[in-house]
Structure 1
């Protein structure tokens, strides 16, 4: 039964408005990111740092992401990234997969709900070729030479290739020819050939307001959230069981379009709900608790109706992989529950045989209180598989040292991660994790304050 036209109170509108904000925050985030990609004239680098392209294209880096990046929180300096958006209204797109050899790689491609709808990566045994990314409603002819088709049901999607690279000059040279074959372009440009782009020689675009400040670009403004939500509801079909939720939202939106008091109540509700979203930015405030005050989550990029986790991850570290591709462990606290603070020294000790069990790679990263890298003279932000100079103890254990103005001793330097002289967080990634990680029988060691 339709509820459009029903008389409602401002109190009712406020109640529904808070729910809508917490539910729709990641979806509006994605909508607004497309508006930025639409301003990019061709594949290149925003601000000389962030890979981007117009809709149905991507940009690629040719080295690690730089610490000045502010478009996506919790970046990773173990992989070479690409980034771009899909717009179903512009038709299908083709994504190229080169021959990566034995190198770890994975393409994350998520719909507007930030849920993955592809399986492209080393863990899937994907063969080199061209793959089609098309909306469910597209019924065009699939040309010869397409190796596979992946469908999505929302207007917008995001494409993020990740390719592992050792932190060596030799691997930077070796990876270049592979990276140059990673690209996305409209189906109309497909001719069956493996196209190449020299990603070290692409245009640089002004970043405008993107990346200004210490925190992530503000992709969602509570003051304009309900101006954008009507378009978002049209872009994203209701999941099974969400029909009633959509009807609720449509009722208050329709009322707000006619009643300034209802519109004002919704804006106020969004501002109030945004305080809750800000709380979800802190890793210790969401997820599944595991030993040592770490938290994790097991629904990344497959959130479905897990709205709490979808919004928490969207705010704190959006664009995570599915757990079988990458398992994430988050840490704000030391072993005694005290907030991590770079004015102190910490140790994370992996006992013999207890390194993160992965078939891909692992890393431990330090993020500042804004979930970005802490610039330092070593230009070092993470340690793990990519680092060939890590020093192991005679018994095979590995201790990583974090924080303090300098290492506790000179012999700790190869295993030392600089941290800001204030609150910071640790972030452990396990790419292509073994079952012991997925099942929870392996968890990271504690962060011990020294």
Structure 2
């Protein structure tokens, strides 16, 4: 492998979150996704129904109604209004162009009362209105707000929709500004398009100083060149290096996103729970974040691969102290989970959370929700009609076909025909989840009698 090929692979891992994030921003603006309609910059798009398999978004949840806004702060600050949710769980998560979670508003972070907040672009030095509760400093001029309002099912949707209408964004100066994403140069060959996007968007949304120093290593690839694209008429040698580097970088991210041999050394069926998947933010700690070594990855360069994996498998996911997810690919006997078999998951006691929990089914390898005739994509403590044991335990039945017995049907989480990955979400987890004291029970294969 040439030096430029290896450098291109490193650039892919480093830049994948930026390119993937802004590509999703573009898609949201133009097409929306799932239950979310398209919306212009600096306006919320609200989902009117819980997510279904039509939402082709990695690991999308089925517990909340989303309210998502793509912010363009190049024209100046925005005033954000949040309603009083009367104690109901919600979170507004602020994500910069590099996928750093840099601020949170909501039940855990700031309570559920009504108020206004000011969102300001990098370097802003204006006057803050006296009537706002606080200032949210954005690391980049492009920001995604990921809002989640807890929804207990279809009957609860009208309540949530009434709240959604009260989340508003208003320019501080009263004028609408339209700048938008910098456009990569047309005419760049498809195999080099990723690097052209990375070149343009790195310049448009510079990261923290330490990351900018790391970016200097990519000068030989043309990623730091300004003006006309160097890739429109690139010489064959650099095209080969970039194409091969793209392939190698993609393989690294995909490999890191899958179970590793080390996972096979875990107890059979053990769940992989990583409260620190989103700890790659090392520089921006705003309202609602935890600024402590516990929530930072110590090795900055190692954090780039973690960040890429997080974008690949759970884009716009939040820090573990807001919500944590656990997943598994294997049953209690160490076998791969597949819809060819039936399983049970027995909770002796409810998972320890301050808010609520859910178990959601995803197919692999895309991690999309699984279509099924029951239209049930998740199950949890808010699912109506669950049947508990006399001792308070809860047994979830995981299989392709509806169980014949009433208790099994009530507690059924439908599975696909092929391989799958269930995901357990714990909203506002308690300390025993974060420190590993709590152990999630393994999924047991269900043998025919």
Give 1:39 shift. 4.0
TM-score if structure 1 supplies the norm length? 0.83
Equivalent of residue 33 in structure 1, options 11, 24, 31: 24
- State the Cα distance separating 1:383 from its structure 2 match: 0.6
Separation of aligned partners in 1, 2:209 and 2:368: 36
Match of 1:362 in 2: 357
> How far does the alpha carbon of each residue in 1:169-197 deviate from its partner, in whole angstroms, 9 at most, with x for none?
2x22333321221233433449xxxxxxx
Is the 2:403–2:409 contact (alpha carbons within 8 Å) kept by the matching residues of 1? yes
**Change over 3 Å in CA distance of 1:385–1:289 after alignment to 2:** farther
TM-score by length of 2: 0.83
**Change in CA separation of 1:236 and 1:173 when aligned onto 2, cut-off 3 Å:** closer
User: Does residue 110 of structure 1 match 2:95?
Assistant: yes
More strand by share: 1
Tell which deviates more after alignment, 232-241 or 92-101.
232-241
Distance in 1 of aligned mates of 2:355 and 2:260: 27
Stretches of structure 2 lacking an aligned partner (at least 5 in a row)? 176-189, 282-299
Give the secondary structure class of the aligned counterpart of 1:159: strand
Cα distance, 1:338 vs structure 2: 1.4
Instruction: Return 5+ residue gaps in structure 1 as ranges.
Output: 1-9, 41-45, 191-220
Give the whole-Å Cα distance in 1 for the aligned partners of 2:418 and 2:324: 27
Q: Say whether the 8 Å CA contact 1:301–1:319 is kept in structure 2.
A: no
Q: Is the aligned partner of 1:239 residue 2:239? A: no
Q: 2:219 aligns with which of 237, 250, 257?
A: 250
Please give the secondary structure, in 2, of the residue aligned with 1:413: helix
- Corresponding position of 1:65: 51
**Separation in structure 2 between the aligned mates of residue 27 and residue 287 of structure 1, nearest angstrom:** 29
Q: Structure 1 residues 222 and 189 mapped into 2: Cα distance closer, same or farther (>3 Å)?
A: farther
Corresponding position of 2:248:
272
TM-superposed CA distance for 1:268, in Å, is 2.3
Instruction: Identify if the C-alpha distance between structure 1 residues 27 and 289 changes in structure 2 by more than 3 Å, giving closer, same or farther.
Output: farther
Name the CA distance, whole Å, in 2 between partners of 1:167 and 1:419.
20
Counterpart of 1:137 in 2: which secondary structure? coil
What's the RMSD between the two structures over aligned residues? 2.5
Q: Distance in 2 between matches of 1:285 and 1:157?
A: 37
Q: Summarize the Cα distance change of 1:447–1:429 in structure 2 as closer, same or farther, 3 Å threshold.
A: same
Q: 1:131 to 1:429 in 2, by over 3 A?
A: same
Q: Does 1:122 align with 2:99?
A: no
Post-superposition CA distance 1:63-112 (Å, at most 9, x none) = 31232011x21111111111221223233223221000121111111112
Pick one of 141, 152, 162 that aligns with 1:155. 141
CA shift digits 1:40-70 (9 cap, x unpaired) = 7xxxxx3672244222222011331232011
Of 333-342 and 87-96, more deviation after overlay is shown by 87-96
Equivalent residues of 1:365, 1:427 under 8 A apart? yes
Distance 1:113 1:286 in 2: 29
1:293 match: secondary structure: coil
Correspondence for 1:419 among 407, 410, 415 = 415
